[in-house]
Amino acid sequence: MKLLILILVVIINCVVAQEFGFANVWVTTVDGTVLFEEQEPAMFKWLDSSSQEDNPSDIDVVISVNNDTAYQRVYGYGGALTQSSAYLFTQLLEQNKEYGTEILNKLFSQDQGIGITMIRVPASACDFSLSNYTYDDIPNDTALTNLSIAIDQQYTIPILNLILEINPAIKLIYSPWSAPSWMKSSDSLDYGELLPSMYDVYTDFFVKFLELYYYHENIEIYAITLQNEPLFQPMTYPGMYVNSSVESQLVKLLGPKLEKSGLNTQIFIYDHNWNAPEYPMDILQDPDAYEYVGASAFHCYAGDVTNQSLVHDQFPDKEIHMTECSSGAWSPEFGENLIWQSQNLYIGSIENWSSSVLLWNFALDLEDGPTNHGCLDCRGFITVNNTNYQSVQFNVEYYGTAHYSKFLSDPSYRVQSTQYFPNPNAEYLQTCISSIAFQNQGDNTNHLVVLNACNTTVSLQMNVGLQNKYLNYNLPMGLTTFYWAI
């Protein structure tokens, strides 16, 4: 009889384990000793007060994930394929094709890498280009007969084609840093404004280069912004001042032209810092511009991420995207970067309604370049050894992004995740624990990312909504990702 009971207990335990399953776990610690490494799976248990093994008083934080409350669609995480990054990828491939391909896979493959799904591409020279250029630098070519994307065919387009072979679902956002100098008040790429007489020509310029990409290169561009950082004139590298009134006029000219062309490219407005949410709101308040706007785009260099919500709350039908944020030598500490980027970008921007989060350069060299008289100490996802192009260093931007990007599959949505701190003696934990949860509706999977920025290991109980199951895990200082089937 005892043997029979033992057998039944084993069978019951096996059935319970199969029924409630497990979550796969990945960890990156703030000290950099563990870098996006898979851990032992965490087993789910039945959430029942009469049988639960763990006393809530022994738990520091309870996070409950609820798929029944879904928020915005999330397209993914990514960065920028500047001309400098494309050049460095090209050099890696030319020196060692197998190694260069491995690096691309580690960035853009969901199976072999971190599954980046969003790429921003400068549609002109920027501060990370090999020279200054636009797609038409022939003076007074108002018919745009000389408009050409040949400059992109040297490095950018070949690398894009390789990336799209790895992940055809990647979405591309193109952003110009300046109109051609002959269209501007300054006759310079580095500063000045777009001449009113060129508004119509410049919107034709957009349509024509988008058509060249689509019909000649078979590359569909998901969205364009009309101007990178329109309130900033760099003076040493390309830039152009565009106020919200002018950008609204450009939207109203370009929108109908895109519709007539049959292209599906969306228009994203603003593309600048958190500190001026009134800029996109000014444009969206114009009903003739509103219908052609797909989203408002933000950068991280000034202001507060919560300003994204100001725009969303007033215009909830329009998406928000986080399109640029760079770290560099001014923020050298791995752990500090991991925490700040998660609190403000990976988690913070998504909590404030962003549908994507993009950092800046994918690749820079040992001299933080090649630069074009702009940022001299920015940092990319990877640092390429440009003495021989035989090795790279993966930076905090790579490992941080990995926790969020690798486990998204379209269509993915942010879902509700609530935090509860049962220990009244540990209220301080409320300031150093952050989390974000996603549901992949296509394959019925979830993933939760938890940031532990506290100075101690934190005990977690994660509850899964109406499925009445939970798991326990001791969170190290850093990022922990849980990924499981629904």
Span 111-126, mean pLDDT? 98
The confidence score (pLDDT) of residue 67 equals: 95
Nearest to 192 by CA among 242, 236, 151: 242
Q: Does pLDDT of 293 surpass 60?
A: yes
Specify the pTM. 0.94
The confidence score (pLDDT) of residue 16 equals: 40
The confidence score (pLDDT) of residue 423 equals: 87
Question: Across the strands, what pairs with 420?
Answer: 62
Instruction: State in words which class domain 76-405 has.
Output: alpha beta
Span 308-334, mean pLDDT? 97
- CATH architecture of the domain with residue range 2-72+412-485: Sandwich (2.60)
Q: Does pLDDT of 481 surpass 50?
A: yes
Q: Does pLDDT of 273 surpass 70?
A: yes
Distance between CA atoms of residues 45 and 53, nearest Å: 9
The confidence score (pLDDT) of residue 486 equals: 83
The confidence score (pLDDT) of residue 426 equals: 82
Distance between CA atoms of residues 251 and 293, nearest Å: 7
Q: Could you tell me the CA-to-CA distances from 19 to 15, 39, 170, 361 in Å, in that order?
A: 6, 21, 35, 44
Q: Does pLDDT of 50 surpass 70?
A: no
Q: What is the pLDDT of residues 177-219, one digit of tens each?
A: 999 999 999 999 999 999 999 999 999 999 999 999 999 999 9
Q: What is the pLDDT of residues 139-149, one digit of tens each?
A: 999 999 999 99
- pLDDT bucket at 9, cuts 50 / 70 / 90: very low
The confidence score (pLDDT) of residue 375 equals: 97
Q: What is the pLDDT of residues 437-471, one digit of tens each?
A: 999 999 999 999 999 999 999 999 999 986 689 99
CB atoms within 10 A of CB 377: 16
The whole-chain average pLDDT of the chain stands at 94
For the chain, the three-class secondary structure string (H helix, E strand, C coil) is CHHHHHHHHHHHHHHHHHHHCEEEEEEEECCCCCCCEECCCEECEECCCCCCCCCHHHCCEEEEEEEEEEEEEECEEEEECCHHHHHHHHHHHHHCHHHHHHHHHHHHCCCCCCCCCEEEEECCCCCCCCCCCCCCCCCCCCCCCCCCCHHHHHCHHHHHHHHHHHCCCCEEEEECCCCCHHHECCCCCCCCEECHHHHHHHHHHHHHHHHHHHHHHCCCCCEEECCCCCCCCCCCCCCCECCHHHHHHHHHHHHHHHHHHCCCCEEEEEEEECCCCHHHHHHHCCHHHHCCEEEEEEECCCCCCCHHHHHHHHCCCCEEEEEECCEECCCCCHHHHHHHHHHHHHCHHHHCCEEEEEEEECEEECCCCCCCCCCCCEECCEEECCCCCCCEEECHHHHHHHHHHCCCCCCEEEEEEEEECCCHHHHHHHHCEEEEEEEECCCCEEEEEEEECCCCCEEEEEEEHHHCEEEEEEECCEEEEEEEEC
Q: What is the pLDDT of residues 411-428, one digit of tens each?
A: 999 999 999 999 888 888
The confidence score (pLDDT) of residue 425 equals: 82
More confident residue, 241 or 1: 241
Q: Does pLDDT of 15 surpass 50?
A: no
Q: Does pLDDT of 6 surpass 50?
A: no
Every domain of the chain and the residues it spans: 2-72+412-485, 76-405
The confidence score (pLDDT) of residue 58 equals: 87
Distance between CA atoms of residues 85 and 380, nearest Å: 9
- Percentage of the chain modeled with pLDDT above 70: 94
Entry field: residues in the chain: 486
